Amino acid sequence: MKLKFASVIILLAILASCNQKASDLQQAENTINATDMEKHVIALASDEFLGRQPFTEGEVKTVNYLRSVFENLGLEGANNGSYFQEVPMVEITFGSPEKLELKSPNGIVELELIKDYVFSTSHVKEQINIENSELVFAGYGIVAPEFNRNDYEGLDCKGKTVLVLVNDPGLMTQDPMIFNGNAMTYYGRWTYKYEEAARQGATGVLVIHDTKGAGYPWEVITNTADNKLFVQSEDGNLSNCELNGWITDEATSRLFEQCGLNFKELSEKALSSEFIPVSLNTMISLTMNNKLRYASSKNVLAMLKGTDLADECIVYTAHWDHFGVGPIMNGDSIYNGAADNGIPLASMLETAKAFTNLKQKPRRSVIFLAITAEETGLLGSKYYAEHPVMPVQKTVANLNYELFLPIGRMKDVTITGFGQSELDGYVEEAAKEQDRYIMADPFPENGMYYRSDHFSFAKMGVPSLFVKGWSDHREKGKEFATLKVNDYWATTYHKPSDEYDTATADLAGNVEDAKLFFKIGIKLAMENYYPKWSEGSEFKAIREKSMK
Ligand SMILES: [Zn+2]
């Protein structure tokens, strides 16, 4: 009898503490609200912030604003007490040769800058000199052990310049049995082609453009080919290939023909994992005279220290940068970037506020990282992922806020990179609590998973999430959501019209997303489990290696 009574008391005590925990979480979550969120959006997307461009007055205003929000929330600076992390960068303006003469076995092939090719380099050097580098066609230029594929097998790349096809064989064949079929893998991205060629020790790598494979016409490449911003690494980026670039499929066909090869036939052969690289028996020589400009920008980061697992962390990210003041469109020159990425940033600040309102602190530490230079190539996140304030093997997960539209509450939670990791299950659980359902990004062929800051974490092996309500409006349904999203891409994305209008904006859905991020983060921060990449994910092996 006594024992029973004691059990009941214990049970009641457990229930009470559970309830207390639940109500603690709930009241913390309830502090996320549209009024506070809107205050942040209005400030961040105001003309006063000048489009939040790195290296400008707009940067100073933005990073100071973010620091003061973090300070007022009582969060500590995450970089040894500082709220800032300097990100050293260098802008390289490429002085590429106007014309190229390639000596093939059957005579000279002439190529023209912009019309046929564009070159770049990440080597922080004023002059690049390449002499007699042998051209080799390396198919898709992919080394993917999980797909039993090595396009470089048997090829010694030293001193050579490889020509590689864009995209991956799955997307090109639409065969779901090859790679991930219509869903692009990272092996399809041009950035991967550059990285793999460098790992192989090649001198140069040229990606062969075709509109279908790249997903955009040649002009998109040539329009932005004059210069590029890079993170300054200790080795001056010398571990990368000396020469990077693109060549049109038309110029490639012409070149192959002169070499007695059939480009179309060889491209088809390259679909097979049995493909063997083919030398063009042709040399490339060139000089680039480049201009260098050094500049530094800031990531802004704050932390809520955990309790018994304080040396492990969850990292929330949202990029703060946008395009600043640029070409005038419809009488406006300020690229305010409200949806990209003012609202997501404000949402992260609201999630951060909820964490500071918890009575019971999370077991793991939680980092809030506002990132610079996303728009210029994920540079701030790349820098952070390579210089994290806690080691990557102690970084449990990354949750990234990117491109939120203020169009009201959504029934869906769209997961870009669906199936990549066990984090999908965390999203599903949190979505259910909100009476929402999860779905995969309907356009996986666009490779969006590889195009925002969470990807810099994925590349270091940290499971990372890119989610939001995007596809199914609670009252107005799917068609309305699709209409709004398509309208955004067509009229507003990366344009001065990406502004915040208090009269028409509805932040209720963004508030719900900020709460969703809170729920997911809480679960991760309260347990001691490390979510894993899925079987077949291109990031699984990287994680397993770093956790050893
Ligand atoms: Zn963005």
284 neighbors 130 (Cβ within 8 angstroms): yes
- In this predicted model, what pLDDT tens digit does every residue of 146-168 receive, in sequence order? 889 999 999 999 999 999 999 99
Residue 88: its pLDDT value, please? 95
Ligand 1 centre from 401 Cα, in Å? 9
* Contact status, residue 455 vs residue 421, Cβ threshold 8 Å: no
Instruction: Tell me which H or E stretch contains 254.
Output: helix 249-258
CA 517 to ligand 1 center in whole angstroms: 17
Spacing, Cα 63 to ligand 1 middle (Å): 17
pLDDT of 162-215, one tens digit each? 999 999 999 888 888 889 888 888 999 999 999 999 999 999 999 999 988 888
Ligand 1 centroid, distance to 376 Cα (angstroms): 10
Distance from residue 319's CA to the centre of ligand 1 (Å): 7
The pLDDT-based confidence of 17 (bands split at 50, 70, 90) is: low
**How many angstroms does the Cα of residue 544 sit away from the middle of ligand 1?**
29
CA of 491 to the centre of ligand 1 (A): 16
Question: Residues near 180 by Cβ (< 8 Å), separated by ≥ 6?
Answer: 170, 444, 536
- The per-residue pLDDT for 224 is 74
**502 alpha carbon to ligand 1 midpoint, in Å?**
21
pLDDT, tens only, 300-355: 999 999 999 999 999 999 999 999 998 888 889 999 999 999 999 999 999 999 99
Q: How far is CA 304 from CA 317, 348, 355, 368, in A?
A: 14, 14, 8, 8
Class of domain 31-90+294-547: alpha beta
Ligand 1: distance of its center to the CA of 508 in Å? Answer: 20
* CB neighbourhood size of 14 (10 A): 10
Output the CA 511–ligand 1 centroid distance in Å: 18
Residue 132 per-residue DSSP state: E
Q: At what angle do helices 508-526 and 34-44 cross, to 10 degrees?
A: 100
- Contact call for residues 313 and 302 (beta carbons, < 8 A): no
Calculate how far, in angstroms, residue 318's C-alpha sits from the geometric centre of ligand 1.
Answer: 8
Q: What is the pLDDT of residue 522?
A: 97
Among 278-282, 323-327, 371-375, 413-417, name the one with the lowest average pLDDT. Answer: 323-327
Element containing residue 196 per DSSP (H, E) = helix 190-199
- The region, left, alpha or beta by phi > 0 then psi within -120 to 50, assigned to residue 318 is beta
Distance 343 CA to ligand 1 centre (A): 10
Overall average pLDDT of the 371-376 stretch: 94
Residue 260 Cα to ligand 1 middle (Å): 45
Distance 400 CA to ligand 1 centre (A): 10
428-480, pLDDT tens digit by residue?
999 999 999 999 998 888 788 998 999 999 999 999 999 999 999 999 999 99
Express each pLDDT in 357-366 by its tens digit: 999 999 999 9
- What's the sign of the alpha-carbon dihedral 450, 454, 457, 458? negative
Could you tell me which residues are beta bridge partners of residue 300? 84, 370
Q: What is the token pair recorded at 508?
A: 């209720």
The rounded distance, in Å, linking the Cα atoms of 539 and 532 is 10
Span 95-289 CATH architecture: 3-Layer(bba) Sandwich (3.50)
How high is the pLDDT of residue 99?
Answer: 97
Which percentage of the chain shows pLDDT scores above 90?
83
Q: Could you tell me the distance, in angstroms and rounded to a whole number, from the CA of residue 405 to the centre of ligand 1?
A: 12
Q: Average pLDDT, whole number, for the chain? A: 94
- Terminal alpha carbon distance of the chain: 52
| Model pLDDT, residue 1 | 47
- What is the CB neighbour count within 10 angstroms for residue 473? 22
- Stretch among 13-22, 29-38, 69-78, 301-310 having the lowest mean pLDDT: 13-22
pLDDT for residue 5: 62
Q: DSSP code of 271?
A: T
Residues of the chain with CATH 3.50.30.30: 95-289
- pLDDT tier at 10, thresholds 50, 70, 90: low
| Alpha helix stretches (DSSP H) within 259-365 | 263-269, 343-356
Structural tokens at position 225:
């080919």
Average pLDDT over every residue of 134-148: 95
Per-residue pLDDT tens for 45-66? 999 999 999 999 999 999 999 9
Structural tokens at position 293: 């400009």
pLDDT reported for residue 469: 98
- In the reported structure, the alpha carbon of residue 434 is separated from the centroid of ligand 1 by a whole-number distance in angstroms of 26
Q: How far is the CA of 456 from the centre of ligand 1 (A)?
A: 14
CA of 128 relative to ligand 1 center, distance in Å: 33
How far apart are the CA of 184 and the centre of ligand 1, in A? 20
In the chain, which segments carry CATH 3.40.630.10?
31-90+294-547
294 alpha carbon – ligand 1 mean position (Å): 24
